[in-house]
Amino acid sequence: MRIAVIGTSGSGKSTFASRLAQARGVPFIELDLINWRPGWHDRAEREPEAFKADVAEALAQPEWTLAGNYGLVRDMIWAAATHVVWLDLPRPLVMRQVISRSFQRALSGKDVFPGCREGWTRMLHREHPVRWAWDTYARRKESYGARFEDPAFAHLTRLRVCSHAEAKATLAALAS
């Protein structure tokens, strides 16, 4: 199985996917870790071909569990995947999770990715996960809903998860 976990920022993609990968004993691919370089250097934006090549290399493994939403590589991922899990949690829950995570990261001062820290002033930026989650929530819900219904993706097992209880059950089912 090759499982892609998608959802808006703060929905719990990385947590869900890393737990699933560990339970299944397969590689965990975190697109954010492939993308971000020190100083919040965005490879998908500044080095798109290198980013795509690194993602393609990661996808070449026979099994994996992946977390991420990068439009630049979405079709590549969906073509290689056998399953897509959409963490479609309610907006208030997503916002509570992303705000809590951002405050914890800012307080700790630890790197989120090597050379990338979540400081207090960064929270004011348009690209910050809290603002990004709010601004993109409705658009992502609509676009992922349309992709889930698109016959072009009939080859995928598509799982839509709308609560923490469903996430727990889905994780258990896919891990076994």
- Torsion angle of alpha carbons 42, 40, 28, 84, nearest 10°? -50
Quickly list H helices, 27-163: 31-35, 43-46, 48-59, 71-80, 91-108, 129-149
Express each pLDDT in 152-171 by its tens digit. 999 999 999 999 999 999 99
pLDDT value at 126 more than 80: no
What is the mean predicted confidence (pLDDT) over 100-107? 88
Nearest by Cα to 87 from 149, 163, 29: 163
> Which CATH number applies to 2-175?
3.40.50.300
What's the token pair of residue 47? 């080095």
CB contact at 8 A, 85 and 51: no
- Spans of all domains in the chain: 2-175
d(CA 155, CA 174): 17
